[in-house]
Structure 1
Amino acid sequence: MNYYYLLGLVGAYLYGAMPFGYLIALSKGVDIRKIGSGNIGTTNVYRALGVVFGAMTLLLDLSKGFIPSYLAFHYFSGLTPLQQWLLFLAPIIGHCFSVFLRFKGGKGVATSVGALLGFDIRLVLMFVAVWLVTFLPTRWVSLGSILGIWSVFIFAFAILPFFPWALLFLAFFITWRHKDNIRRLMAGSENKTFLPWEQKKAAAGNS
């Protein structure tokens, strides 16, 4: 590995470590780490601040994974597969263990989806399909994310000409990051996330 690659790897980690959800919420005077689940990702920002700020967080977190992954697989020449996959994983690790938040961070789902988009859009379509099929009847974002990321590995194993070890690692890693959610799912106490019009209807019913 040369110095330019190591610089790129560090840059990918640091970009992934940028706590966009935290900064967006802070701009509104809210410490998102003290609201709801305490997570800095899209779901908690959406619950606390609404769809606009949730969408902003989603797009920025997607970009964390997409840019390094796309450059690694489609732009930089001369990288080995190991070097490519390390660039794929670096922003995800950065998002989950941010140097700017004392090595704490989000669950890594949106950044992972961005990285998958930079590699192969078919894997993203698989994730979205499984996520929607899971989320719409249950309203559990966490369960959709876990099943979605495992479906990505299984699909990649079926269509890629090599063993997708990085995607297997990612599936285990995202599952581990959701360990508290899994406990709540098993206990039947996991928080549900409702769509904007559902939230308005619920608020109107409670008024």
Structure 2
Amino acid sequence: MITLAYLAGSISSAVLVCRLFRLPDPRSLGSGNPGTTNVLRIGGRLPAALTLIFDVLKGTIPVWSSYFLGIEPLFLGFIAVAACVGHIFPLYFGFRGGKAVATALGAMLPIGLDLSGLLILTWGLTVFASGYSSLAAIVTVSLAPLYTYFIKPEYSLPVLMLSVLIIARHRHNILRLYRGEESRVWDKGKTNE
């Protein structure tokens, strides 16, 4: 299941959706990140929404399938991380992937709607208050282990594993935020994400 999760994660939704809509490759335009925010800047809401849905499913399907196979929480964490690593280093797309925020969210969805709701609310409020997609992702994944501890504590360690991976993937964004150089969601044509 870890291998299957990595292979599923390696399907670059952003690249495929951009090809479908005859848009430029998101790895060569805007921030260069094949993710929802960059697709939103390049192609608008519909391509971005499709990218988001498919990226979420890349995390949800392997983890949920594994849950129904009776796999223990710790190994569900490894499966979730594998899906995210596939998104970050996609086998089929030259190992040039995105930040895996939506895939990580998808991997956490099977824990429960209460956790999902808190994560989406946290992300939405942070974007609304700041305008920074990257900051919203960092804040959300930082709080995810805490939320999980109070909802289903047995999944705290797997969620912490995902959180560390996503925060590490945002290290450049953290530096740009600190320097005041990060682009906001509504800044079309900016080069960072």
Q: Please give the TM-score of this superposition, normalised by the length of structure 1.
A: 0.84
1:117 corresponds in structure 2 to 109
Letter in 2 for 1:14: L
Unaligned runs of 5+ in 2: 189-193
- Residues in 1 aligned to 2:125 and 2:17: alpha-carbon distance in whole angstroms: 30
Alignment-derived partner of residue 34 in structure 1: 28
Counterpart of 1:183 (choices 164, 168, 175) is 175
The offset of 1:118, in angstroms, is 2.0
C-alpha distance in structure 1 between counterparts of 2:59 and 2:6, whole Å: 10
The structure number with the bigger radius of gyration is 1
Cα deviation 1:127-149 (Å, max 9, x = unaligned): 11111221102110010111011
1:136 aligns with 2:138: no
Match of 1:12 among 5, 8, 12: 5
Distance change (3 Å), C-alpha of 1:29 and 1:50: closer
- Structure 2 equivalent of residue 48 of structure 1: 42
Separation of aligned partners in 1, 2:151 and 2:134:
26
Q: 2:191 aligns to what?
A: none
Question: Residues of 2 paired with 1:108 and 1:122: CA distance?
Answer: 21
Identical positions, percent: 33
- Summarize the Cα distance change of 1:133–1:76 in structure 2 as closer, same or farther, 3 Å threshold: same
Aligned-pair distance for 1:163? 6.4
Structure 1 counterpart of 2:17? 24
Work out the CA distance in 2 between the residues paired with 1:39 and 1:141.
13
- Aligned AA (2:129): P
Greater relative contact order (CA < 8 Å, ≥ 6 in sequence): 2
The answer to whether the aligner puts 1:151 opposite 2:143 as a matched pair is: yes
Whole-Å Cα distance in 2 between the matches of residues 161 and 192 of structure 1? 34
CA RMSD of aligned residues (A): 1.8
Matched, 1:72 2:66: yes
How far, CA to CA, are the matches of 2:180 and 2:149 in structure 1?
32
What TM-score results when the alignment is normalised by the length of structure 2?
0.90
Inter-CA distance 163–116: structure 2 relative to 1 (3 Å threshold): closer
* 1:66 CA drift (Å): 0.8
The one-letter code of the counterpart of 1:138 is S
Which 5+ residue runs of structure 1 have no aligned equivalent? Answer: 1-7, 200-207
Letter in 1 for 2:176: R
What aligned pairs does 1:67-106 form with structure 2 within 5 A after superposition?
Answer: 67-73=61-67, 75-77=68-70, 79-106=71-98
